[in-house]
Amino acid sequence: MDSLAGLIGSRRVLVCIGTGGVGKTTISAALGVAAAEQGRRALVLTVDPARRLANALGLATLDEHVRRIEPATFAAEGCTVAAPLDAAMLDVKRMFDRVVDRHSPSAAVRDRILAHPFYRQASTALAGSQEYMAMERLFEAATSGDHDLVVLDTPPAEHALDFLESPNRLVDLFDSPAFRILVARASTRGRASAFRPGSLVMRGLSRFTSGEMFSSLLEFFSDMSATFDGFVERAQQVSALLHGPDTAFVIVAACEAGSARRALALHRHLTGDGYPVGALVLNRVAPYAAIRSDLEPAIEDARTLLRREAKQHRERHKGLAHAWATSAHHLSQIAAQDADVVASCRAGFGAAARVALVPRLADEPDSLRSLADVARFLTSAGTS
Ligand SMILES: Nc1ncnc2c1ncn2[C@@H]1O[C@H](COP(=O)(O)OP(=O)(O)OP(=O)(O)O)[C@@H](O)[C@H]1O
Ligand SMILES: [Mg+2]
């Protein structure tokens, strides 16, 4: 069985995946910290623009540029690492919306363009290209030799699956008849008189867009078609990397029955598609089990108190002891439910995957120190 420390030490790519808000970004950052502790040069690629993460990493900003967190920065927070940690944000905003924004003379024109069916169709088809760029970026980072490990933080699961499939979707788009017709028009500039400036078509189009912008879209299609073979080859390489032995998927879930069910469904989906799932992280586990073991003797004491019904302060003691015993009993029940969730996850994920439990910290992980705490739970021998 591979431990999470083992995954961090041996893989080139870790993909954190899970439904919304379960802690993917936090766990990705903590995996990066754990890698730095092991002396691996790691890069955390996050999709999360939250400033909180940049702050937790001790960075003023986090954008598409790679930012380095030096060992000295860790040391200032009392953490010891053997390698620096790099982080960057993946910008998955639609490239075309940005182009439109730039070219539009006014907000009204921009809104008209954004609502136009042609634009909506083209930009939706090409939305995957931006996700594809993210996968391309992941591939480059994983193969450039600059880093030993790349941790990819993904958007909530439904979108993450889109993300993973984006190389294939782009290939499908290139193969579609509509795309080929458009490209043929764009590339045979001499014959594409319909798209010449001042032509009837362009005058018609200019009602909702500038001819310049439409030409630049066509040019883009044309440019893309020229790199078609390269894209197909690269899509295959990305897919091979994500399915190969250098990659492990880390599914993140909350420790409750619904979230665990969704994590198991995601596990089935990913393994069905041949992606290697290496671990499940049950995050924000309430430390009920520990509380229960502390409380069990207290519950007994409370019962004894109730039985004795001390004459002095009898009513007060009775009330307190009763409240104590009741809440301890409730906690105990919840702890048992959590234990069931953990047990069902262990059974569902099978012996090949590791299950790590990360407790809910008293404060949100907002510093390198707290990310190092999370990292400790991810790699501790207590997980199995
Ligand atoms: N173990 C923990 N203890 C306490 N708070 C936590 C823990 N893990 C995550 N959080 C907090 O929970 C919130 C959600 O975490 P995070 O942003 O990492 O989730 P996410 O899965 O990346 O969300 P999204 O799907 O929106 O990208 C954040 O406020 C984070 O600080
Ligand atoms: Mg996130």
Do 44 and 32 contact (CB within 8 A), yes or no? Answer: yes
What are the DSSP calls for 26-84, one per residue? HHHHHHHHHHHHHT--EEEEE----HHHHHHTT-S--SSS-EEE-HHHHHHTT---SS-
Asked whether residue 182 carries a pLDDT value surpassing 80, the answer given is no
For ligand 2, an ion, list residues with CB under 5 A. 24-25, 48
127 falls within a domain: yes
Strands 277-285 and 354-359: parallel
61 falls within a domain: yes
Element (H, E) at 14: strand 13-17
> Atom 5, ligand 1: which residue's CA is nearest?
364
Pocket test for ligand 1, best of 25, 48, 55 (most atoms within 8 A of CB): 25
User: Could you tell me the residue range of the domain that residue 374 belongs to?
Assistant: 4-289+341-379
If one counts the domains in the chain, the total is: 1
94 falls within a domain: yes
299 versus 88: which is more confidently predicted?
A: 88
Asked whether residue 127 carries a pLDDT value surpassing 60, the answer given is no
192 falls within a domain: yes
Mean pLDDT value of segment 295-310: 71
Which of 274, 199, 278 has the alpha carbon at shortest distance from 240? 274
Alpha helices in 117-227 (DSSP H): 117-143, 157-175, 177-187, 200-205, 211-226
110 falls within a domain: yes
Query: Which atom of ligand 1 lies nearest, measured to the CA of 18?
Result: 21
Q: What is the CATH number of the domain that holds 214?
A: 3.40.50.300
Mean pLDDT value of segment 137-154: 91
Most confident of 4-13, 96-105, 153-162, 350-359: 4-13
Which residue is associated with the tokens 């941790």?
Answer: 151
Angstrom distance (rounded) from CA 48 to CA 103: 27
317 falls within a domain: no
312 falls within a domain: no
Which residue is associated with the tokens 């993460």?
Answer: 53
- Categorize the per-residue pLDDT at 31 as very low, low, confident or very high, splitting at 50, 70 and 90: very high
310 falls within a domain: no
Mean pLDDT value of segment 287-312: 69
Asked whether residue 74 carries a pLDDT value surpassing 80, the answer given is yes
Dmax of the chain from CA atoms?
104
**C-alpha of residue 137 to centroid of ligand 1, in Å:** 24
